[in-house]
Amino acid sequence: MKTQQTLFKTILVAGLLSIGMISCKKSSDSSEPTVANQNYVFVVTSEAAEEGGGSGTYVVATDNVNSGSLSIVGKGISSSEWSFVVQNNYVFGLVYGNQGPITPYGLDATGVLKRHEDKTVNAMRAGIYGTYGDKNIILGSTNRNINDPVATLMNYSSESFSIQSQNTVNLSTTLAGNGRMAIWTGLFQVGDKIYIPYQIADGSSTWGGNILEVNKATIGIFSYPGLQHIKNISDDRGSFIGNWGSQQGIGLADNGDAYTWFTAGTTEAGLVPTNHSGILRIKSGTDAFDASYFFDVEALGKGKIARGNHITGNKFLMTMYSGTTTGGVAGGKVNLAIADVEAKTLTSVSGVPTHDQSSYNNKMYVDKDGKTAYYLLQDDAGEFYVYVINLQTATATRGLHLVGITDVSAFTKLDY
């Protein structure tokens, strides 16, 4: 359990804010649009007492990630939360007890990072979470044991800092069926509904047990704002989506079509999928897998998909396993590539070294114009760097060095 809790601390939310990176003061010409000042915000773990900050989790901000270095010394705000989600120009910290406060962090009018203790609200321990619209966060509880299969979905307003609604679902009977247990792996808004991908397991332990379905992709669909279960959809061409705590595995193209990807990796119990790692499509407004579409990414010879994030149009930035070893919540070596899901192509990103797959999900931020992405990795020497990726040329250069850092939980950009 201690190992699981430690790993869980590095969770990040699958879908970060898309905020423009241009920073300037208000123009004296009233006809010129005002562009907000902005800072990049990181949630990091440090065990480097020699850096002057000590061991623990910190939230820290900077105005530049293209070069230089960043330390928690004199900047970091100590945090007691385990996981983080970005919404409405805040980074929200979620505790990992049975229940506890949701705490927002944001920038004041001068760009200084603040912890808003006066805006906290008590909530359940969240295993999945995602954003809905630009003001709400949906949370799902951590139930994974078949002896405790009834989970809670909760709708939190990041504007009023309050719980607006909640509902329950039996993960065994409603999602998995046949005496099995569902392990949900993320939560995403698709159209006016909520999509929750899940693995089907035997529920034999507190942490879900062994995965049973390895040649099927499964998603539960829920209503908003009622958070009521509508139906499940599945596709036998796929494999289980995401991993515990990943908050990744589904992304929306600009036209509203949803794409879901899967590693098709060997399970901890040794089950080997026969299906290839690839991408399935759900056309906008259909709530059903598109039988005419399958992108066999593995057949391109550049490895299996590890993680993915939408960047612009029909393109996604993927981490691809560089060898036969695949991971779950962590593990395996990866390279970066840009997938065009319409053209069914995969373009390797040059300038980024092969590196360890980060825990749970990719830590990255994409500019609003879709031309530049900022991707965090830990190199073989154990150092963390931001790589600045030109998405049009698929080339990258090394940028900001995070000093004295042992892990990164969240990375985004906020206005002030």
Per-residue pLDDT tens, the chain, 416 aa: give them: 434 434 334 333 333 333 333 233 333 333 333 446 889 999 999 875 444 455 688 999 999 999 999 998 878 899 888 789 999 999 999 987 667 889 999 999 999 999 998 999 988 889 999 999 999 999 999 898 899 999 999 999 999 999 999 999 999 999 999 999 999 999 999 999 999 999 999 998 888 899 999 999 999 999 999 999 999 999 999 999 999 889 999 999 999 999 999 999 999 999 999 999 999 999 999 999 999 999 999 999 999 999 999 999 999 999 999 999 999 999 999 999 999 999 999 999 999 999 999 999 999 999 999 999 999 999 999 999 999 999 999 999 999 999 999 999 999 999 99
pLDDT number for residue 5: 39
pLDDT number for residue 23: 32
Tokens of residue 283, six digits? 């056309």
- Residue bearing tokens 């898309």: 18
pLDDT number for residue 97: 64
Q: Which DSSP string do the residues of 114-144 spell out, in sequence order?
A: EE-GGG-EEEEPEEEEEEETTTEEEEEE---
The SS3 assignment for 322 reads coil
User: Cα–Cα distance between 253 and 248 in angstroms, integer?
Assistant: 15
Q: What CATH number belongs to 2-25+34-415? A: 2.130.10.10
Domain-wise residue ranges, the chain: 2-25+34-415
Whether the CB-CB separation of 310 and 316 falls below 8 Å is answered with yes
Residues 6 or more apart whose Cβ sits within 8 Å of residue 348 = 302, 335, 336, 337, 394
Whether the CB-CB separation of 318 and 339 falls below 8 Å is answered with yes
Residues in the chain: 416
pLDDT number for residue 48: 54
pLDDT number for residue 81: 85
